[in-house]
Amino acid sequence: METRVSNLPPDPAKHLEETLRKLRLRELPYYPLILVFATGSITDRHCVAMKREPMPPTGAPFSKDFSRVLHSAYDINPSIHDGAVLFSRSHERDEYSLEAWSMRIVSTAAPVAAESNHGSAFNSAHSLSAVHNVDLCSILSKESASFFRNGVAIEE
């Protein structure tokens, strides 16, 4: 009998949220920080890249040390503060890696329930989370962490 041990935590979604809560507590170069996690690609029907010159490198894995990657990218080009940071993976068993900086969220996907207006970042992340291959959208501010999954704002 062969035994395999997965390197994924028991509940990957909760682990991702906890990592993001810890990231928020670090000194980040800017707020709010919008992070999008997807399995597969996100089309330009939902996110559009904003041109940045120079564009910081991509490909870094998402981990608790992402703040260092973020600081380095901000040092290269502070304009990355505008827009979402996109992480993707090919399969659920894979780790997320940094795919793009400065993504403008243009999704028109309908959230499960309408929320009162909390601002464009909140509304955009909420909408994008309803897209079928988006696993999680998050907004990190100095005061809080907001999460959106399957078109639903997750209560803290």
Mean pLDDT, rounded, for 6-28: 81
Q: What is the pLDDT of residue 83?
A: 95
Matching residue, tokens 């380095």: 72
pTM: predicted TM-score of the whole model, two decimal places? 0.89
In-domain check, residue 7: no
Within-domain flag for 86: yes
pLDDT (0 to 100) of residue 111:
81
* Confidence (pLDDT) at 156: 60
Mean pLDDT, to the nearest integer, of 132-145? Answer: 95
- Specify the number of domains making up the chain: 1
Under the banding of pLDDT at 50, 70 and 90, the label for residue 3 is: very low
- What CATH number should be reported for the domain holding residue 54? 3.40.1700.10
Q: What is the DSSP letter of 30?
A: S
Q: Residue range 104-118: average pLDDT?
A: 81
Q: Is residue 79 part of a domain?
A: yes
Nearest to 61 by CA among 102, 33, 95, 20: 95
- How far, CA to CA in Å, does 87 sit from each of 72, 91, 117, 120? 17, 13, 26, 20
104 domain-assigned: yes
Residue 78 C-beta-side C-alpha neighbours within 13 Å:
3
Domain that holds residue 91: 12-154
- Predicted pLDDT at 115: 66
Query: Average pLDDT for residues 80-107, to the nearest whole number?
Result: 96
In a domain, 71, yes or no: yes
Can you list the positions of beta strands (E) in the chain?
A: 33-39, 47-49, 84-89, 97-105, 134-140, 145-149, 152-154
pLDDT at 1: 44
